[in-house]
Chain A
Amino acid sequence: MNEPLLQVKDLNKWFPVKKGLLIERTVDHVRAVDGVSFDVAEGETLGLVGESGSGKSTTGYCILQLLEPSSGSISFMGQELTELGREGLRRARRDMQIVFQDPYSSLDPRMTVGDTVGEPLQIHGVGTRRDRTAKVRELLDVVGFNPGFVNRYPHEFSGGQRQRIGIARALALSPKLIICDEPVSALDVSIQAQILNLLKDLQGEFGLTYVFIAHDLAVVRAMSDRIAVMNRGKIVELGPAETVYEQPREAYTQALLSAVPVPDPRAMKQRRQERRRLRHALAPEG
């Protein structure tokens, strides 16, 4: 299958800026996503990296049609998502899922773990109730969450455990594509590694394709085959992970990479001296 699983062409998402009291007029637009194009092949991970406001999460939401794109084409498994009717989209959703950033707001506090993970199965009428219960236990096991706690509530668990629940939910319908929207940003470093490993393992086991969105450059590097660097709604650089990180072409990418803190005191102090030198060079009067 040579056609990419996901093809995004000229995606735009503009938010209107309104002014006026009684009658609101649109005076300008915030171009959250500004002409973004990329392909994602089946089985690969595309990393989408950028600072806050770069449009990376908005891009992810547009792909899933959680936000309606202002214009552009999103072709998934050969289907043009922007042209699907409500039912068509609903069916397409079985194949594309999302893992959210905030483990505290991504799970309904009034639903048990089992209900949350089983909801996708319920919505699409998969199997009998007994089938679903079994499937839920299987999913929880796969993500490293003890299935014995299926009747507990999310608030009883830690951030890392909640993320596992969210991942189990995303896997329920055996999707082809999963958008990971900052899945480890809210977790401690020691837990981050667990969840990232889990995502890697799941990708191998289930043949998943990921669009991995994050602001942490090292995390994106660890997960991605190819990387797109975004800034202010546009893709600034796109290429294989190693190339983008080790031979960045764009000044923005270079600036971003050089700003990432690394656990190496000598390198960090050297960078500081570089920055100081730059500043003095730019402003000789001090």
Chain B
Amino acid sequence: MALLDVVDLKTHFFTRDGVVRAVDGVSFTVEPGRTLGIVGESGSGKSVTALSIMGLIPKPPAKIVEGKVLFEGRDLTTLSERQLEDVRGRQISMIFQDPMTSLNPTLTIGTQIVETVRRHFDVSKAQARKRAVELLEEVQIPNAAGRLDDYPHRYSGGMRQRVMIAIALSCNPKLLIADEPTTALDVTVQAQVLDLLEDLRAQHEMAMIIITHDMGVVAEAADDIVVMYAGQIVEQAPVLELFDHPEHPYTEALLAALPQLEGHGIREGRLTAIPGRPPDLIAPPPACRFAPRCPYANDRDGCATHPPELRELRTGHWVRSQHPASERTRAGAGVPA
């Protein structure tokens, strides 16, 4: 059985200007021990998806209007706040983007870890402290025992992110959700943190969801990838398959828009940009949400009238488009070497 099964999740924000359909019918599964990467730009709904799973969306404007979040068979959307609090930290943990603001600056690192441990386990303070030192050592904080009573401002950005990871792992959750865990970090530290996450994931036999806008990060860290655009999943595939054969025009465009590190004629050439900008989620395009920016959109195929369904193009590779790459090539649009 899948560890996490998200079924047709819809999270809408009810604002004065209208209903923002931030997540509009998203389904995916996470198997135990695997890492799922959710890739998208701002406004794609990737973070709201993660927060919806945890029940951390701000309840007045936001609401899960439809769908199920089945964790080990249990639908989290039906749980009360108290029950969710028991799940958070213990079964499912989350780490956030900005380590500067995720840690309480007025409490020592030790206090924050101990607090989490004692919330879920009935142990003494001394035992919790011992566990805290173990955790800091696990995330490779040098001189862990000595640094337990330091305040967050004495830690660097990379170290704070490790502390966040330590706190998230303190209760041995089955699933770790990492929302842009490396975005605020320097490139050299990013690699270390990703390595750490992978090692810990393997050791603790956890599943992981990594949310990011960075295709490089997801190429490294994920086993399976979900590409989100305007609140929907537009492509879903295992990592090698996705990068070898991207199907959806958006995925292709995203990859093409990335500046290359090596090659010729880079300085002189132009980058292939995607025209326009992501749609307004209050009134998204009626059918295919990418159509206004898609180079293959046309009326003949009903791009503006019939919303494309997510269909399985090949085993394990799902695409939501009338014009996936392989169907285009077969129709003679491209010229194989």
Contact = CB atoms under 8 A, between A and B. Distances in A.
Find out whether A and B make contact in their complex, taking CB atoms under 8 A apart as touching: yes
B260 A221 contact: yes
A275 B192 CA distance: 9
Nearest to A269: B220
Q: Is the interface of A mostly helix, strand, loop or mixed?
A: helix
Interface stretch (A74-82, A166-174, A186-194): A186-194
B99 to A, nearest CB: 13
Contacts of A261: 187, 190-191, 214-217, 219-220
Contacts of A275: 191, 195
B261 A197 contact: no
Interface residues of B, number: 39
Contact of B42 (A188, A200, A269): A188
B274 A222 contact: no
B243 A263 contact: yes
Contacts of B278: 188, 190
A223 interface: yes
B191 to A, nearest CB: 5
B262 interface: yes
Contact of A197 (B42, B215, B216, B273): B273
Interface string A254-286: 011101111111101101100110000000000
Nearest to A188: B41
Interface stretch (B4-12, B86-94, B250-258, B306-314): B250-258
Interface in B171-215: 186-188, 190-191, 194-195, 198, 213-215
A260 B266 CA distance: 17
A219 B42 CA distance: 19
B197 to A, nearest CB: 11
Contacts of B220: 261, 265, 268-269, 271-272
Interface string B262-304: 1000110011111101100000000000000000000000000
Nearest to A52: B186
Interface in B228-267: 239-240, 243, 253-255, 257-262, 266-267
Given A189-B41, A190-B41, A218 B259 contact: yes
Contact of B186 (A188, A196, A215): A215
A51 B184 CA distance: 11
Contacts of A193: 257, 259, 271-274
A160 interface: yes
Given A266-B240, A272-B220, A191 B259 contact: no
B271 A196 contact: yes
A272 to B, nearest CB: 6
Contacts of B41: 188-190
A61 interface: no
B232 to A, nearest CB: 16
A193 B293 CA distance: 14
Contacts of B187: 51, 215, 217, 256, 259-261
A158 B216 CA distance: 25
Nearest to A190: B274
A141 B293 CA distance: 21
Contact of A51 (B186, B215, B243, B275): B186
Contacts of A218: 258-261
A264 B258 CA distance: 12
Given A158-B277, A268-B216, A272-B220, A245 B188 contact: no
The 7 closest A-B pairs by CB, nearest first: A261-B216, A193-B273, A268-B220, A222-B259, A263-B215, A193-B271, A188-B41
Interface of A: 45, 51-52, 158, 160, 188-194, 196-197, 200, 215-219, 221-225, 241, 245-246, 255-257, 259-266, 268-269, 271-272, 275-276
30 contacts: A188-B42, A188-B278, A189-B41, A189-B257, A190-B41, A190-B277, A192-B271, A193-B271, A193-B272, A194-B274, A218-B258, A218-B259, A218-B260, A218-B261, A221-B261, A221-B266, A222-B266, A223-B267, A224-B267, A255-B188, A256-B187, A256-B188, A259-B187, A259-B190, A261-B191, A261-B215, A262-B216, A263-B258, A265-B243, A266-B240
Interface of B: 41-42, 186-188, 190-191, 194-195, 198, 213-217, 219-220, 239-240, 243, 253-255, 257-262, 266-267, 270-275, 277-278
